[in-house]
């Protein structure tokens, strides 16, 4: 009924004692997610929000059986925190921090290469399996369990699309924000593969933007096979001026790179149904899921 996270996910928080770490950990615990520990160097032996604090990730994993992490530390500390989580062999690591230096993320990408860790982010709103697991900063008030998988580059559009789907009786299996930075962990293709394997996900929503090549990779992947499930896409930025960053770091198109229209055309050619605005997504989904 979900991908990457679920009822058996046990989360530790790197940066739990900060204001943001405290707020979002408390919210997720109140939602019902199993959080088991915090990590803050120099604070080992203390407790926070009723959770034990450890000096390092490896010790926290050994003592609590944690298999996932939320990284919510300042940008200059992100690379070391992520590499520590990878070396501790955590299954899923979610990083919500923005403005992580790209040369730091290059180090993280090298560490990920031979690991089994799934990295979501950085600059991600996180991952949410309704009623079971929330890691990150994604709102939960409109989330409902169901059969629609959502994967997105945009935090604000994710919230809007999720609310529109729920209002039309379309619950979600898992919603994932892959992150708004140019260098990040998993992408559209990784999520599409997982959703394809998930028997309870009956359709997928893909929310794209200008910049990067996530949409092009998704189009190439989908064009090479019979995916077996309907995919609906919304790609924003059709009227964005060339060469200007629109929002977060990943929405900066390179010289000569495809704009929103080109991305939309490639996805459409791969059999993806295109929505022109968030309100059209439930309609598109209902058309294909009821046939």
Question: DSSP 3-state helix, strand, coil percentages of the chain (rounded to 5)?
Answer: 35, 20, 45
Could you tell me the CA-to-CA distances from 78 to 15, 69, 97 in Å, in that order?
Answer: 10, 13, 8
Residue positions annotated with a catalytic role: 248
Of residues 130, 131, 134, the one with CA closest to residue 120: 134
- Separation of alpha carbons 246 and 45, rounded Å: 44
Longest dimension (CA), the chain: 58
Q: Residue 205 in contact with residue 279, Cβ under 8 Å?
A: no
Tokens of 155: 């935090």
Q: How far is CA 243 from CA 98, 158, 165, 233, in A?
A: 21, 25, 33, 24
27 C-beta neighbours (distance < 10 Å), count: 15
- The residue among 168, 187, 184 whose CA lies nearest residue 176 is 187
- 210 neighbors 247 (Cβ within 8 angstroms): no
CB-based contact 67:90 (threshold 8 Å):
yes
Size (the chain), residues = 291
| Pick from 116, 105, 102: nearest CA to 82 | 105
């Amino acid at each position: 009924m979900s991908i990457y996270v679920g009822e058996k996910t046990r989360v530790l928080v790197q940066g739990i004692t900060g204001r943001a770490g405290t707020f979002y950990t408390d919210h997720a615990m109140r939602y019902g997610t199993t959080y088991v520990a915090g990590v803050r160097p120099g604070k080992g032996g203390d407790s926070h929000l009723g959770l034990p604090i450890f000096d390092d990730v490896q010790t926290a994993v050994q003592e609590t059986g944690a298999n996932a992490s939320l990284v919510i530390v300042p940008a200059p500390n992100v690379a070391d925190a992520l590499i520590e989580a990878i070396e501790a062999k955590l299954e899923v690591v979610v990083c919500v921090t923005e403005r992580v230096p790209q040369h730091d993320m290059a180090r993280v990408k090298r560490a990920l290469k031979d690991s089994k860790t799934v990295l979501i982010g950085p600059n991600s709103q996180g991952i949410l399996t309704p009623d079971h697991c929330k890691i990150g900063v994604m709102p939960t008030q409109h989330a409902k369990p169901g059969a629609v998988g959502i994967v997105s580059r945009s935090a604000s559009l994710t919230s809007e699309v999720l609310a529109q789907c729920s209002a039309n009786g379309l619950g979600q299996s898992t919603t994932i924000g892959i992150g708004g930075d140019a260098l990040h962990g998993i992408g559209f293709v990784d999520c599409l593969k997982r959703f394809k394997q998930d028997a309870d996900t009956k359709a997928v929503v893909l929310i794209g933007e200008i910049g990067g090549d996530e949409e092009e990779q998704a189009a190439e992947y989908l064009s090479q096979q019979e995916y077996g499930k309907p995919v609906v896409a919304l790609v924003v930025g059709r009227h964005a001026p060339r060469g200007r960053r629109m929002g977060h770091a990943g929405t900066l198109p390179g010289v000569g790179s495809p704009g929103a229209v080109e991305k939309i055309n490639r996805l459409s050619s791969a059999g993806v149904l295109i929505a022109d605005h968030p309100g059209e997504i439930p309609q598109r989904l209902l058309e294909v899921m009821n046939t």
